[in-house]
Structure 1
Amino acid sequence: MNSFYHLCFVVQDIELATEDLTRTLGVTWSPVRAGTLGDWDYSIVFSVEGPPFFEVIQGPVGSPWDATEGSRFDHIGYWSNDVMADKQRLADRGAQIEFDSCPYGRSFTYHRLDSIGARIELVDLAVQPGFRDTWAQDVAAMPPLDLDELNRLPGEVEPPGHGGGHRFRSGPPGQDPMTSA
């Protein structure tokens, strides 16, 4: 499985959300920063601990981080060697592009997976040094998503009647797949 580098929550109140995560899970935070994308001003923060990091964003109505219907888990973030190619590959695999920042001069995309009620974010690997300088100075370089690596693993089988897409790991009868490697 490819390594993701963050989990993001879109929230109505960034201070309350980070305080709750600190109180309940002991998460520590970098300073909250202001950002702008197009006409949208937003607040963003990453956990000190990671990867994977927690990301919390508070954005305005109509933005990709609109939380008027309530705070939520929003996305899983991956680095990408080639956002242009990988965004099409994810779309071809059923993760449709919901937001593309490229027209705004940035290089990340959000892809909707309705089955999990969340998105996948691809972020250009070229901006990772800036991310590390800003949010994670002591963190080593993080690997990008490798869509070519998503091949069948030893012991995986394709269920009968499936033309692909769903893969299952086989195991001894009676073995609990949730607790067994």
Structure 2
Amino acid sequence: MAADFEATVARLTEVLGYEWGPEVGGAVAVDLPGGNVAELDLRCAYSITVPRLEVVRSVAGTLWDPAGEAGVHHIGYWSADVAADAAALAERGYLVEASRPGLQGGLFFAFLRSAEGFRVELVDRAAESSLAQCWAAPPTPGGTA
């Protein structure tokens, strides 16, 4: 989560040599606890450099607001069954903070948080190939990446 998106990306580039794919995202309907649904403008950039990083623009008043948080916001995992994996984490005391329904039913993503504050994002593995374009190296002038 980045209160100052541009400064965060610039600093990670300056200090650690990270390179970035394009900023992606837009309006997303997200299911919140208590049955509430919110339309949020979720935007991020993924690093081309590995280990892969995702820098997300902050969204005030949501779990994507960095107020009072420092360090790593969450760890992301691909999941073959987001709903089942979220249920398994819930059995271990994690609480669902937000989720998004998938096109085929089930869940596209879910954010869960442990009692200690550790946050996990589960993302449907079916999205991996389309999201991979977000961290593909940009084409070089006169050639390919």
TM range (shorter): 0.7 to 0.9
Contact 1:11 1:71 (8 Å CA) reproduced = no
Which residue of structure 2 lines up, in the alignment, with residue 123 of structure 1? 123
Amino acid in the other structure paired with 1:91:
A
Amino acid in the other structure paired with 2:110:
T
Contact 1:87 1:109 (8 Å CA) reproduced = yes
Note the alpha carbon deviations across 1:95-115, whole angstroms, 9 max, x for none: 222222228996111111242
- What is the CA distance between 1:82 and its match in structure 2? 0.5
TM-score, scaled relative to structure 1: 0.61
- Which runs of 5 or more structure 1 residues have no equivalent in the other structure? 1-9, 138-181
Bigger CA radius of gyration: 1
- Highest relative contact order (Cα 8 Å, sep 6+), 1 or 2? 2
Q: Do structure 1's residue 113 and structure 2's residue 114 form an aligned pair?
A: yes
- What is the CA distance between 1:35 and its match in structure 2? 1.9
Note the alpha carbon deviations across 1:130-181, whole angstroms, 9 max, x for none: 11133237xxxxxxxxxxxxxxxxxxxxxxxxxxxxxxxxxxxxxxxxxxxx
Contact 2:22 2:134 (8 Å CA) reproduced = no
My pick for the range that moved more, 105-114 or 87-96, is: 105-114
Amino acid in the other structure paired with 2:113:
R
Taking only the aligned residue pairs, the percentage that are identical comes to 35
- What is the CA distance between 1:47 and its match in structure 2? 0.5
Amino acid in the other structure paired with 1:121:
E
Which residue of structure 2 lines up, in the alignment, with residue 93 of structure 1? 92
Hey, which bits of structure 1, 4+ residues long, moved more than 4 A?
A: 103-106
Distance across 2 between alignment mates of 1:21 and 1:96? 30
Distance across 1 between alignment mates of 2:135 and 2:12? 18
Contact 1:58 1:67 (8 Å CA) reproduced = no
Query: Cα RMSD over matched residues?
Result: 2.5
My pick for the range that moved more, 117-126 or 36-45, is: 36-45
Distance across 2 between alignment mates of 1:98 and 1:130? 25
TM-score, scaled relative to structure 2: 0.75
